[in-house]
Amino acid sequence: MTSFRTVRDSMGELQVPADALYAAQTQRAIDNFPVSGQPLPAAFIRALLNIKTAAARANGELGVIPADIAAAIADAAQTLLADESFMQHFPLDVFQTGSGTSSNMNANEVLATLASRSLGQEVSANDHVNAGQSSNDTIPSAIHTAAAVLIAQELLPALDHLQRAIAQQSEVVGHIVKTGRTHLMDAMPLRMEQALGGWRTQILQNIRALKAQQPLLQSLAQGGTAVGTGVNAHPQFSLLFLHELSGLIGLKMTRAENFFTHMSSQDVAVAVSGQLKTTAVSLMKIANDLRWMNSGPLAGLGEIELPALQPGSSIMPGKVNPVIPESVAMVAAQVMGNDTTITIAGQSGSFELNVMLPLVARNLCESIQLLANASRLLANKAISGFRVNEAQIEKALARNPVLVTALNPVIGYLQAADIAKTAYRDNRPVLDVALEKTDIPRAELERLLDPALLTGQS
């Protein structure tokens, strides 16, 4: 049976598991919020522990807390981060107090326990670990820090990998001319490199947009404490804290232009989420193009063949499905849903504090990580490995009645339309019908209707 120990906070005594590193306030939150069973993301907790490390070092240097206690707190946080199982100590549900105070105190209590053990004397969760801080500036700072690190270390490299994979595949298949489609209907031809180039530019635009948002994401509310005034924080705390944190995470973190803005609103997170949604839209577009091009193999377009990764049916032998594009499309849908939630949460700032911070943290981190994972899957297991069915593409291209568009300047729209309708009705090549209905020599028609020449130069 589980053994317990008695702990106390400002509300009185209660029991916590004897081997738990946390204490009373964490246990109260465990008891109060049995909602989803979902803890806050590991990336957020990592950011929170790095914030506690930086705060302890800054407070130690400023003499706000004794140097040995500051060092013990910082060492405890970094020891936890080096332990792959550190999340076991942070069990609190996402759907907790809207300020994230429970999670802030969870971190404070765990670090106080570890620091007390290492020093052989009591370290206070509030007076030492939380010195110069409030949940109200710490949690917004952890949201920004976690998202900035995930974008820099996970999403941007994954998107860059994806655009490189598209570019490499374009070098292999880019010369092939295929039927273009608008409204899902046959349109003028284009080269594969042009189609893939459209995808690649979408990804590059998302990379540029995400990079443009990083400076605001890397600005922090830390130092504003309870309402933005900085009460109980040393005047030099914020600057020293930012120096320490920047060194810990490898990103240049800066002081918020206005503490009140960063604490009372989540406008930066909403804006970043909006760009994540745009990235999701781009990935869904690419995924759906791949699904359509792969459709068949006999009754669909059959332009490409995606890598066969697993059996596609429990009842139809030999069926293989476009599982990676489907997975990516579901990720995109989830990110779009997360963005709607973050938008609603972002407007939930009343006066000096937003009160849906844990939800913002959870959804923002999840969206970034999902997009990073999906981008790598799309690159490695779909884009890089698809094979082009040139015979199928050429067959469809030769009978594409829309090629007659090239004759518009020579014979006019109405006569060209008549040729297209006849070619489609009789299932004949446009060239053959045009020979019958115009006086244009065959050699000239072959030149005018050459699909490769109709793709232009860009």
Residue in the structure block whose two tokens are 């404490």: 225
Catalytic residue, from 313, 350, 375, 384: name it.
Answer: 313
Catalytic residue, from 10, 183, 314, 458: name it.
Answer: 183
Report residue 155 as tokens: 């999403």
Q: Is 375 a catalytic residue?
A: no
Burial class of residue 157 in the structure, from the number of CB atoms within 10 Å of its CB (0-12 exposed, 13-18 middle, 19+ buried): middle
What's the DSSP call for residue 303?
A: -
Residue in the structure block whose two tokens are 């890598």: 307
Q: Is 367 a catalytic residue?
A: no
**48, 103 in Cβ contact below 8 A?**
yes
Look at residues 32, 34, 51, 24 and name the one whose alpha carbon lies nearest to residue 361: 51
Q: Are strands 219-220 and 4-9 parallel, antiparallel or unpaired?
A: unpaired
Across 5-30, b (16+ Cβ under 10 Å) vs e yields: eebebeeeebebeeebbbbbbbbbbb
Element at 349 (helix H, strand E): strand 349-350
- Whole-number Å distance between alpha carbons of 422 and 445: 17
Report residue 359 as tokens: 């939800």
Burial class of residue 177 in the structure, from the number of CB atoms within 10 Å of its CB (0-12 exposed, 13-18 middle, 19+ buried): buried
The answer to whether the peptide bond before residue 215 is cis (omega within 30 degrees of 0) is no
Within 8 A by CB and 6+ apart from 449, the residues are 403, 404, 406, 407, 430, 431, 434
Element at 189 (helix H, strand E): strand 185-191
Active site residues: 183, 313
